[in-house]
Structure formats: structure tokens, C-alpha cells
Structure 1
Amino acid sequence: MLPVYRTFPLFSRLFLAGFGALALASCDSDDETSPIYNLSKDGSNVFVLNEGQYGTPNGEVSLFSKTSRSVIDNSTFRTVNQRDLGDVVQSMLVVDEQGYVVVNNSKKVEVINLRTFAAVATVTGLEQPRYAIAAAAGKVYISEWVALGGTGRVAVLDTRTNTITKTIAVGRQPEGMLLANGKVYVANSDENTVSVINPATDVVEATLPVQDGPTSLVQDQTGAIWVLCGGITRYGTTAPYPVLSSTPANLIKLNTTTPAASLVLPFTSGGASELRLNSTKTQLYYRYRGAVYQMSTGAAALPTTPLIRRSFYGFNIDPADNTIYGSIAPYSGTGKFIRYQPTGTAIDSFNVSLLPNGFVFY
């Protein structure tokens, strides 16, 4: 419909202009004191990370309410901050009421007040950042690939000033990290090692041998560290980029004192990814060959039957009730996620944004 314009007398126009200015001032005052969101850290909120299209700054975070069973906002960052979040939303860390959103291709981390989702600071100068972990009080580690085929690093972020104070050289293409027993374990995905950093000194104290392609790590209820190694596939450098070599995936129960004594459970091929734990840390979950598998931490062999026969772009386990969240991500158009009972039975599904890859519970 075309807009309708009506002519007012001069006095009326001056009155309306003055009234409008007062109204705008009133609205501005309300905006300063009344945020759009006032979220409680009660486990009822789920942040869905949407990568967005590579090369464009349309990555976003969807806000899902478990209470109302609905997606509240598919552009939460833009709604609150009136600007783009960035290019390739990779991951997100929660520390108390602060969020650290890693935006890979924008080479930055957005620091967020999670109650309001207002941006607090932007940490720049990173090179292909991947994941973040709380390493110590006032300190967050951020894994960085830096450059394909080259040595990766871990950036040390001072959360009091939101500045990078140091970088620590690790292996090639560092991915997931785990804080366990006072040390930070870093999975170097383009080789077969795990770097061990002392967060008190920010120094690598050991490099542990594992299998090819470690990507994610967890610590179970007994204190044992599990490492999922996805294998490594090498491709030719010219079209049609043929596979030159490929190694299988392995799940490792790591012996940090004597790595050679670790329990190694081999897969038949590569591609296993996203190692997860349930709330009691007694069950392991991972993605492999278009399905999600579940395995007891006391098992001595890999499961042969999947829990969910569905290919996900990303998935996670809700620590409140072990509900499984899995994302479906067509490379064009709207993505969605499906929720499953711990038994693997589907509950419901919801549309989100482009390329949803992860879930953060708050």
C-alpha cells in the first residue's frame, strides 16, 4: 500500500514536531533502562549458533526458549546491537553471565552480556579462531589455526580488559580444548598430537602422541580423558582434487602419564566428530557416517548400532535433561534443529537461520 500524506496547519505541525521530539526522548530513556531481553541463567535458554554464508557477515545466534518451546529471535545479536555479528559464527563459550562468540572468518570474538545479549567488547587481531575455553580466573584461551598447514596457536585473553596478552604456539590446526586436572589439553587436528598447557604459566609443558586428526576432548565421571580423532584425509592441489591419502578415526581413552598405554578404539574409516557427554558424564556421544552413536564410558568396544540414524551438521546434549539437539543445515535456505529424547526418539523441530552448527545452554 502506498503511504498517505495529510497536510497540517503550521501550528499543528510545530506542535506535532515538538511532541514527537519529547516522545523520542522518552523512548530513548526507556531503551537505556529497559533492555530488549533480560535472560536468567536458569537453563531455559538455548543459543543456536548459525554460521551464515562464508564470505558474508550474516552469521547469527538464534534464541530458543525451552519454556515456551519456541524460537524467540533468529537474529538476536542484530536485534539488540543493531549491527551484523559477522562472517562464520564458529562457537560460543559461556563464563557466568558473559558469552564469548567466536566468529571465524571475521577474525574476532564478540564479548556478550548474556542477560541482555548486548555487546560488551570486540576482540580483534585473531587468525582463524575456532574455540574458546575458560582456562583460569580472568583468563580465556582461544584456539587459532592461523594458516592452513602451518603452526597453530592459542591466544590468551584477559577477560578483565578483553585484550589478548599472549599467544602460545601449539600444533597444526588446533581445535577443541579441555581443562582437566589443572592443565589445558589442545587437540591439534592436522597432526596426531595433543598439546598440554599449564594455564598458570601459559607454557606448553608436554605434547602427547595420539592418533591422526584429534578434534574434541571430554573428561568422564572417573576423571579419564577421552580424545576423538577423526583421521586425516589429504587431497590433491588441483581440480578435481583427488584423495591422495586417508587414515581412519579413533576414540582414545588417554593415559596422560603413559600415552602408549592408552585404550585405542579404531573406526573402519575417517570422519568421526563432536565428542559429547551426558549430564552424569557416564555416556559418550559422537557423530559418525551420518548417525549419532552413544557409548558407555565403561565400554571396551565401539557401539555398532546408532542411537539416531540422522546426519547432523552439529549436535549437543542439554545438561539439564540429556535432550539431544541436532541441526540440519542445507547450504542454501533456512536451517533447522530437531530435539530428541535421550532414547533417540524425536520430540519436535524448529526453523532457525543459515547453517546452524551448535547449541549453547544457558
Structure 2
Amino acid sequence: MRKIAKLAFYALIFSLLVVSCTDDEENYGLYGKGVYVLNEGSASGSVSYINTDNDDVTNGIFALNNGVPLGQYPQSMAFSKDYLVIVVTTSNGAGSIEIVDKETMLSVAAFTELSYPREVTIYDNKAYVTNGSGEGVVYVVDLKTLTMNSTSIAVGHGPEKMVVSNDKLYVANSGGWLNDDNTVSVINLNTLTVENTITVKACPKDMVVDADGNVWVNCGGAPDYSNYPNVSYTDAGLSKINTEDNSVTSWPIANPSGTVKNMAVSPDGSTIYFVSDAVYAMEVSSSTLPSAKFIDDTFYGIDVNPDNGDVWVCDQLSYSDPSVVKCYSKEGAFKAEYTVGVSPNSCMFW
């Protein structure tokens, strides 16, 4: 692990830029309350900030404040009370976890030379990070002490998205490059041990938690490359895990999206959104998949603003040029579009 101290120079600049807050005001730092977009990039990824009050976009805020690029192919990010945690995968087996101060966007710590870090979830001031294209593990970072646990938690192949429900961490084991997993590992967060392994549809990638605490899993299906470039997918679909008894209800999807960031949930947990051949909205009380398209287009990532229910989608226009994110109302009406970095994959709201 390397630690990057907050330099006096940056502290001085920050003090000149930020107006002090009164006791009853919340300090949103250099950029403020808005939308933060993670861009995978090509040579290096980036973070964009969208000020939704005036529609201004500031791209590359990590590099602007740290003087160095974020790194190649960042995959995920999450906010804690004090930090923005960013997971950078890279293409050479030297991925990292970057811990960034929320108010200054300065890096305060980084954990480097990880083999294949992917997704991050924050719970109770700890960051949980999936790692591995084959045999997978979950790393645990204490955000109070900025230290990583000396031991990791072994899970399935190619772990991706995680969610927390009832003090348990659910880990989607996608199979990674092997495409050979169809399970969700359940980690007891009190003991940091796997207490259950649940079978779902093939290659689970993304997950959300509904209002009842049940876990919904979007499974991309096992790819068949035998007729390449025509690729088919086997056993793709949605699976709902009843967290009371671990029973599973599944629905097949004929046209899976193939991306990791393909699922979101409404603020009240009553509606899930998923991407296949279009964006669909499904009431969690429903027993059948929706047939009507919520948005008649496909996207690289989808998220929901927890404040107002707006649906944000990442439109990857190319692998080398700036792309866009789009905002739709919870009724599916287009509201706005913003140009961000290269290959945006997700949005966070602060």
C-alpha cells in the first residue's frame, strides 16, 4: 500500500477556493452536490462531475486535483461518509483501489498491484472489493484506518457486483474469463465468512436490493463463441433471491446486454430497471417480465438518482472519443444529456 498525504500546497489552494460553511450547512467541497460519472477511458480512465443546478460538466477531476491520471479501465466507485472509493482494473494485472477525499478530490491512500479488482460496495465504513478473473476473492478495506485486512474472503469465479441485505454481503460470481459460474456467495459480515452459496442463472453480473430486502440478480448468460462473430448466450435471465429462506425465482431473458452495469432500483425499492435489448422497468411484485420498453435503446450502464428517481444511462459512443450520459424521468421521459469522458459506465449521486 502506498499513502499519499494531503500536501500543504493543495490545502492552501482548497482553502482559497472553498467558502467556509456555517454549522447548519453541508460542505460539498470543490465541486458540490451533483452527479459523478466514472469513465473507463482507453489509455487512462477519469471521473466527470455534473453540476445539475447549472448543467456544467467538469471532466477529469481526479487528474485535475492530483496531477496524475487515474489509471487504466476504472470499473466502479462508491461514496462513503468521507471518501470516494474508486476501483481501477488495468490491463496488465496491476489494478488498484484509490481512496479519494470527497471534499478535495485528493488521493489519500491507494492499494496497488491487485490482480483483477472489479467492484466496490461500502457498508459500515468498510469498502468491500471483488477481485479475480478466475478464482475470486473479496478484499476488505477499513475506511477509518485506511488499511486493508491481511486476509481476503474466497468466493466464486470472476466476482463482480455486490449488495448488502440484512447484514449479509451478496457477491455475484460471473465466471470471469472462464464463464463457468452461476452462483451468488453470501458473506456473513460479522464473521467475514461465506455462509451460503446460491445457484442462479448463468454468469450473474449485477444486483440490486428491493424494498423487502430481496436480492435481484441480472445474469448475462454463458457465451458460446463457436459461431463467432455471432455469439449466443445460454441460461441468461433475472433471478430473485428471497433473503428469508434463500429460495430463488428466475425468468429467462432472450437478449442479455452482456455488460456488468445493467441493473438499477427505484429509491423506494418497488421497481427494478434492467438492460437487455432495451431498458425495461419491472415492479418487484410482478410475476412476469415486462413486455413494454421503458427506454427503447441499450446502454453501457444504468443508475437511479436516489433523491428523485431519475434514471441515468451511460451511452458508450466509442472506445476513444468522449461519450454521453443521459437522464430520464422515472416515467421514462428524456430530460438531459451531458458529454463526459471516454466509455462512461456508471453514475454516483452526492
Q: Please, what TM-score do these two structures have when normalized by structure 2? A: 0.85
Larger Rg: 1
In the TM superposition, residue 222 of structure 1 has moved relative to its aligned partner by 1.8
Letter of the 1:109 partner, please give it. Answer: I
1:33 to 15, 32, 55: 15
- 1:262-341 equivalences under 5 Å are 262-271=248-257, 274-289=262-277, 291-329=278-316, 330-341=318-329
The answer to whether 1:44 aligns with 2:33 is yes
Letter of the 1:228 partner, please give it. Answer: N
For residue 232 of structure 1, what is the aligned residue in structure 2?
A: 222
SS in 1 for 2:65: helix
In the TM superposition, residue 327 of structure 1 has moved relative to its aligned partner by 1.6
For 2:222 and 2:11, locate their aligned partners in 1 and report how far apart those are by CA, in whole Å. Answer: 56
SS in 2 for 1:211: coil
For residue 360 of structure 1, what is the aligned residue in structure 2?
A: 348
For residue 60 of structure 1, what is the aligned residue in structure 2?
A: 46
For residue 337 of structure 2, what is the aligned residue in structure 1?
A: 349
In the TM superposition, residue 162 of structure 1 has moved relative to its aligned partner by 2.3
For residue 17 of structure 1, what is the aligned residue in structure 2?
A: none
SS in 2 for 1:67: coil
Letter of the 1:292 partner, please give it. Answer: V
Label 1:265 to 1:28 Cα distance change in 2 as closer, same or farther (>3 A): closer
For residue 145 of structure 2, what is the aligned residue in structure 1?
A: 161
For 2:99 and 2:349, locate their aligned partners in 1 and report how far apart those are by CA, in whole Å. Answer: 17
For residue 22 of structure 2, what is the aligned residue in structure 1?
A: none
SS in 2 for 1:39: coil
SS in 2 for 1:31: helix
For 2:268 and 2:103, locate their aligned partners in 1 and report how far apart those are by CA, in whole Å. Answer: 27
The alignment yields a C-alpha RMSD, in angstroms, of 2.5
Which is worse superposed, 168-177 or 210-219?
210-219
Partners of 2:128 and 2:140 within 8 A in 1: yes
In the TM superposition, residue 122 of structure 1 has moved relative to its aligned partner by 1.0
Label 1:301 to 1:160 Cα distance change in 2 as closer, same or farther (>3 A): same
Partners of 2:321 and 2:342 within 8 A in 1: yes
In the TM superposition, residue 332 of structure 1 has moved relative to its aligned partner by 2.5
The answer to whether 1:110 aligns with 2:98 is yes
For residue 185 of structure 2, what is the aligned residue in structure 1?
A: 195
In the TM superposition, residue 234 of structure 1 has moved relative to its aligned partner by 3.6
SS in 2 for 1:80: helix
For residue 3 of structure 2, what is the aligned residue in structure 1?
A: none
Label 1:27 to 1:121 Cα distance change in 2 as closer, same or farther (>3 A): closer
Label 1:300 to 1:27 Cα distance change in 2 as closer, same or farther (>3 A): closer
For residue 211 of structure 1, what is the aligned residue in structure 2?
A: 201
For 1:314 and 1:115, locate their aligned partners in 2 and report how far apart those are by CA, in whole Å. Answer: 26
For 1:39 and 1:258, locate their aligned partners in 2 and report how far apart those are by CA, in whole Å. Answer: 41
For 1:42 and 1:332, locate their aligned partners in 2 and report how far apart those are by CA, in whole Å. Answer: 26
2:77 to 67, 92, 114: 92
Q: Percent identity?
A: 33
SS in 2 for 1:115: coil
For 2:152 and 2:11, locate their aligned partners in 1 and report how far apart those are by CA, in whole Å. Answer: 42
Letter of the 1:83 partner, please give it. Answer: V
SS in 2 for 1:125: strand
1:76-129 C-alpha deviation (Å, 9 max, x unpaired) = 011111111110111101111211011111500110111111111111132211
Q: Please, what TM-score do these two structures have when normalized by structure 1? A: 0.83
In the TM superposition, residue 27 of structure 1 has moved relative to its aligned partner by 8.4
Q: For structure 1, list consecutive stretches of 5 or more residues without a partner in the other structure.
A: 1-25
Partners of 1:208 and 1:256 within 8 A in 2: no
Which is worse superposed, 27-36 or 219-228?
27-36
Partners of 1:334 and 1:354 within 8 A in 2: yes
Letter of the 1:337 partner, please give it. Answer: V
Q: For structure 2, list consecutive stretches of 5 or more residues without a partner in the other structure.
A: 1-7, 20-26, 176-180
1:337-358 C-alpha deviation (Å, 9 max, x unpaired) = 1111112111121111111111
SS in 2 for 1:353: strand
For 2:212 and 2:244, locate their aligned partners in 1 and report how far apart those are by CA, in whole Å. Answer: 16
Which is worse superposed, 150-159 or 267-276?
267-276
For 1:331 and 1:360, locate their aligned partners in 2 and report how far apart those are by CA, in whole Å. Answer: 21
For 1:332 and 1:339, locate their aligned partners in 2 and report how far apart those are by CA, in whole Å. Answer: 22
Letter of the 2:55 partner, please give it. Answer: R
SS in 2 for 1:77: helix
Label 1:298 to 1:316 Cα distance change in 2 as closer, same or farther (>3 A): same
Label 1:349 to 1:225 Cα distance change in 2 as closer, same or farther (>3 A): same
For 1:233 and 1:321, locate their aligned partners in 2 and report how far apart those are by CA, in whole Å. Answer: 37
